[in-house]
Amino acid sequence: MLLGEYQHNIDTKGRIIIPAKFRQDLGSKFVITRGMDGCLFGYPMSEWKKVEDKIDSLSVNKKDVRAFTRFFFSAAVECEFDKQGRINIPAILRNYASIEKKCVVVGVSNRIEVWSESAWTAFTSDAAEHFDEIAENIIDL
């Protein structure tokens, strides 16, 4: 299970260190792509297969399915770690998530998310303000 929040910097070549704790769960190869809320989603290959199967089961006769599928898969890249535990995030993904220098890598159960530091700060501020209401709307704790 992928858990936790880690502050990192992305270098001028678009490389970021993925925390060692996450590398083990992600495996030697994983997929990173556009995510929701302006962040990137990174999936271990086993989870990526589940996502892929779920999306493939949707009807291509629906315009929203075609649009989502194109947007989600067109930017997806398979990543491998270098000797320092870094991956290269392509410019298209860095631009999508507005990642320039400071970023945050977050474990979210079955995936990681990579956020620009400013977007993560804005998201967590809003979520903290509404956490009780959000929790009440989705689950019984």
Long-range contacts of 64-73 (CB under 8 A, 24+ apart): 71/34, 72/33, 72/34, 73/33
Over 70: is that where the pLDDT of 141 sits? no
DSSP state, 89?
Answer: P
Over 90: is that where the pLDDT of 135 sits? no
Three-state DSSP state, 53? helix
- Per-residue CA distances from 93 to 114, 115, 125 (Å): 10, 11, 24
Over 80: is that where the pLDDT of 140 sits? no
* C-beta of residue 103 within 8 angstroms of C-beta of residue 117: yes
For 56-67, the pLDDT digits (tens) are 999 999 999 999
* C-beta of residue 87 within 8 angstroms of C-beta of residue 79: yes
pLDDT for 32 equals 98
CATH assignment at residue 28: 3.40.1550.20
Q: Indicate the Cα dihedral angle 97, 101, 105, 111, nearest 10°.
A: 30
pLDDT for 137 equals 83
For 86-129, the pLDDT digits (tens) are 999 999 999 999 999 999 999 999 999 999 999 999 999 999 89
**pTM here?**
0.92
Domain count, the chain: 1
Over 80: is that where the pLDDT of 7 sits? yes
pLDDT for 70 equals 97
Q: Which domain holds residue 34?
A: 2-138
Distance in angstroms (rounded) separating the CA atoms of residues 11 and 46: 29
User: What percentage of the chain exceeds 90 in pLDDT?
Assistant: 89
The residues, any chain, with a CB within 8 Å of residue 105's CB and separated by 6 or more, are: 5, 6, 8, 16, 18, 19, 22, 112, 113, 114
